[in-house]
Amino acid sequence: MVFPDPLLHVDYSAIMARDDEKLHIVIFPWLAFGHIIPNLELAKHIAQKGHKVSFVSTTRNIERLPKPPPNLASLITYVKLPLPKVDNLPKNAEATADVPYDVVQYLKKAYDALQHPFSHYLESSNADWIFYDFAAFWVPSLASRFGMKTVFYSIFTPPFMAFMGPASYMIDNDPIRTKPENFTVPPPWVPFSSTVAFHYYEIMRIVDSVSDNDSGTSDTYRLGASIENCDLVAVRGCTELEPEWFQVLRDIYRKPVLPVGQLPSSGFNGGDENENDTWRGIKEWLDKQAHGRVVYVAFGSEAKPRQEEVNEIALGLEKSELPFFWVLRVRRGASDTEVLKLPEGFEERTKGRGVVWRGWAPQLKILGHGSVGGFLSHSGWTSVVEAVQNETPLVLLTFLADQGINARVLEERKIGYPVPRDKLNGSFTSDSVARSVRLVVLDDGGRVYRDNIKEVKNLFLNNQRQQKYIHQLLCHLRSRSHPKKGERVFRD
């Protein structure tokens, strides 16, 4: 049975007739900047249509966000909630970037303790809809007390969501995936041929996600319950780019699944003076490099390579003989005692040809510079979208979370080339790094990656299509019946 596209059943003429009806939408992302930023981009698009958005996060995270642009300042409101204290969570740690990977479970425990202050905020918010992230599986039960409807907004891609399977499998024990190696093959509910699956080393690095942890709830349960209990699912992606994956989601979820587009990073303002000074210094170095020859290296706010991996990456960049700009996070927060180090003498040997940058860097601007010819990336989807925005071909080196699934999708479309590595333990060599970056940036054999990323850009990032997705989403929200404002509905 094929579950139909919910947008086909929306009476747009009736919705357009009451286009002046504006919504109040609450957006509540998980405490990771890889989640917060795509949620912020969605907030911006919604506000541009004249709707009010309350963007809720913890105090320190809100203070680290850019201000809304002046034309949207009256429509986007930041709401700060104090993060409750829990054992084993360091002081001022309010995002995944602030703590080592094994401490994230305590951040989830603190996040779950936000239920009371979030409920208190909702009581007086008079909101129509709540958009929530995978970790906040408890939001629908709060929303129902106040007659509010909910959208589970997935910043994970349609292929990843489809690979994870039906909500019931994630909530209860999956009868098919009883051991890690079961995640290394495509699941039976994907009815077409695909290579989209984890490699063994990728699933082993995140095996705690599918089992219990000290937060009290596994990530797979959170994801399954979030899907099961929402009124509709919104997914970052494009039906034109991946129609077959959206169809799988509609078939296995049996509820409306709407695309919101890729939500490319746009920035909210011109940046503060320190940010502009940072960019000026980086730009001066990039301006001196040959066109299309610089390898940009960055692994996002969460992915932290192991020490032996850093060694091979560094030596590989050295052997490649290409100029490089490497944004290296040597630790995840002040409590991280495993500080990464570069091989002895590496920076001296590559001085002038390469830069190791240990602070924040303006990634979108760097990728847009003409000297950058390749991006050695972890396959985080925001980084992927930014690479496509700037037609920068990808070299893929995965570490955590959904990155392995993203990499398979990019490999299938030949817009990203994976660094060859052992599929069991994930090891790779400096030689494989050197060959990979030279292939994608320089060699004739890698031209397909340089050409394909240009060709796919319109599918990824068509502004007219992006606006259509947001318009259709808002039409769908307005089409759903809801109580009059101020009228509470109490349900079990």
Query: What pLDDT is attached to residue 4?
Result: 53
By DSSP bridging, strand 76-81 and strand 52-58 are parallel
Q: Which residues contact 372 (CB under 8 A, 6 or more apart)?
A: 286, 292, 294, 295, 296, 325, 366, 390, 392
User: Where along the chain do its domains lie?
Assistant: 6-264+462-479, 273-459
For residues 288 and 489, give the distance between their C-alpha atoms in angstroms, rounded to a whole number.
63
Question: 455 burial class (0-12, 13-18, 19+ CB within 10 angstroms)?
Answer: exposed
User: 15 phi and psi, to 5 degrees?
Assistant: -65, -45
Query: What pLDDT is attached to residue 458?
Result: 86
For residues 139 and 264, give the distance between their C-alpha atoms in angstroms, rounded to a whole number.
27
Query: What pLDDT is attached to residue 484?
Result: 45
For residues 220 and 156, give the distance between their C-alpha atoms in angstroms, rounded to a whole number.
13
Q: Which CATH architecture has domain 6-264+462-479?
A: 3-Layer(aba) Sandwich (3.40)
Q: Where are the alpha helices (DSSP H) in 323-429?
A: 346-349, 363-367, 381-389, 403-412
Q: Where are the alpha helices (DSSP H) in 11-103?
A: 12-17, 33-48, 59-63
Query: What pLDDT is attached to residue 482?
Result: 53
For residue 484, the SS3 value is coil
Query: What pLDDT is attached to residue 267?
Result: 62
Closest by CA position to 261, among listed 464, 473, 41, 469: 469
User: 261 phi and psi, to 5 degrees?
Assistant: 85, 180
Strand order in the sheet with 76-81: 76-81, 52-58, 24-28, 129-132, 149-154, 232-235, 257-259
Residues 305, 317 contacting (CB under 8 angstroms): no
For residues 419 and 434, give the distance between their C-alpha atoms in angstroms, rounded to a whole number.
9
Please list the ranges in the chain whose pLDDT falls under 50.
1-3, 7-17, 269-270, 481, 483-492
For residues 489 and 283, give the distance between their C-alpha atoms in angstroms, rounded to a whole number.
56
User: 2 phi and psi, to 5 degrees?
Assistant: -100, 125
Q: Which residues contact 368 (CB under 8 A, 6 or more apart)?
A: 389, 390
Examine domains 6-264+462-479 and 273-459 and report if their fold is the same: yes
The overall pTM is greater than 0.85: yes
Q: Which residues contact 345 (CB under 8 A, 6 or more apart)?
A: none
Question: 273-459 maps to which CATH number?
Answer: 3.40.50.2000
Query: What pLDDT is attached to residue 336?
Result: 85
